[in-house]
Amino acid sequence: MTQPLAGLRVLDLGTRIAAPFCAGLLGEMGADVIKIEQPGTGDFMREIGPFVAPEGGGDPYSLFWAVEGRGRRSVALDLRKPDGQDVFRRLAATADVVVENFRPGTLEKWNVAPADLDPRLVVVRISMFGQDGPNRFRGGLDRVGIGFGGLMHLTGYPDRPPLRVGVTISDYLTGVFAAHAAVAALYRRDAGQDPSHRGKGCVIDAALYGSVLRILEWTLAAYDRLGVVREREGNRLANSAPLDNYPTADGKHICIVAGSDANFARLCAAMEREDLVTDPRFAKLADRAARGDEINGLVADWTRTLDAVEIERRCVEHDVPVATAYSAREIFADAHIAARGDLVSIDDPVIGPIRQQAPYPRFAGEAASVPNGAPRLGEHTDAVLHEMLDLSAEEIAALRASGAVA
């Protein structure tokens, strides 16, 4: 079955996470993604652990790369060399989207900035602080994004230092937002209602911290109108209870969300504590929120007496929103995840079949696609240059001799 973005071509100039993830999302919707990598080193994700030893020997192989490098072809092309820059400009003329995440000014220095490329291109430029503003030349990674964007201040417990989220969230969020913007830009170019943009590309300016700002809910509006500085609340909320990640008898944690009056009544039934529903201390949401420590403590006393699976069974039976805090072990064992095909086996060219997360989201009623495994560095250089630029073997050999390709 043909995928929605089949026929589009994306050049992925990125390294590490945000830009490659943006390109990868487009690839998982059917776009042909060509990864442009520096000869000899390639994407930095190839060097991020954990590592696994390939069967039959060889250098340690990055499982990070096995996941985030999938679904694309690799061309080893040196953009620091004039011949490499010329090849890239020619490749870009056959593409629809270019995605990069170098510091502002880098593509200009290499003579492959948007102004040097085909004006039909949609160029996604991801950076720490954006393409303009006083901080534009500062570098940074995910933690800078969540710090500057305001998320780190909200993460953790009020009596402890701020925490990072468990994954590199600003990179992934920025990749998602940028992919969404790229599809919108392509629609405007090819089918939009504004004739002044028909046939024209654009530059998408995506700052890592900006994606974090966008998900801050009411945080900034409350400061603007009320002078309220939102603070860390841990797993609880000041305006809702009971709600927490509660300890279980088998050493796990289970999230129960029962702030509303209806869900609270259902939880009380699951706990066999219907008396709490009529207790005046907990009659309404505002009452329970005011006595959050007390009501959350009562729920925790109950969860400590049972294993997580039994707590979840009782809550589901009474229609209480609940989830065990899954580790990878539980994800692999869960029947629902298996039934929906949320894990797929990717045939990696270095380490063979490896199960990892499936493309997301899916199109209902359509067969899910399985991406190709992450390519070896420069694995497709010759094929792509011949296919897209009609270069002969002799011409490619000459470029290789000059160091422009590998």
Distance CA 334, CA 325 (A): 12
The pLDDT profile of the chain, 406 residues, written as one tens digit per residue, is: 789 999 999 999 999 999 999 999 999 999 999 999 999 999 999 999 999 999 888 899 999 999 999 999 999 999 999 999 999 999 999 999 999 999 999 999 999 999 999 999 999 999 999 999 999 999 999 999 999 999 999 999 999 999 999 999 999 999 999 999 999 999 999 999 999 999 999 999 999 999 999 999 999 999 999 999 999 999 999 899 999 999 999 999 999 999 999 999 999 999 999 999 999 999 999 999 999 999 999 999 999 999 999 999 999 999 999 999 999 999 999 999 999 999 999 999 999 999 999 999 999 999 888 999 999 999 999 999 999 999 999 999 999 999 999 9
CATH 3.40.50.300 applies to domain 243-326: no
Closest by Cα among 192, 133, 141, 167 to 19? 141
Of all helices (H) and strands (E), which one includes residue 323?
strand 322-324
User: What CATH number matches the domain at 9-215+341-402, 3.40.309.10, 3.40.50.10540, 3.30.429.10, 3.40.1390.10?
Assistant: 3.40.50.10540
171 annotated active-site: yes
Of residues 12, 142, 171, 348, which has the active-site annotation?
A: 171
- Contact between 277 and 265 (Cβ < 8 Å): yes
What are the b/e assignments for 40-66, b being 16+ CB within 10 Å? eebbbbbeeeeeeeeeeeeeebbbbbb
Domain with CATH 3.30.1540.10 in the chain: 243-326
Domain with CATH 3.40.50.10540 in the chain: 9-215+341-402
What are the b/e assignments for 261-291, b being 16+ CB within 10 Å? eebbbbbbbbbeeeebeeeeebeebeebbbb
Distance CA 280, CA 291 (A): 11
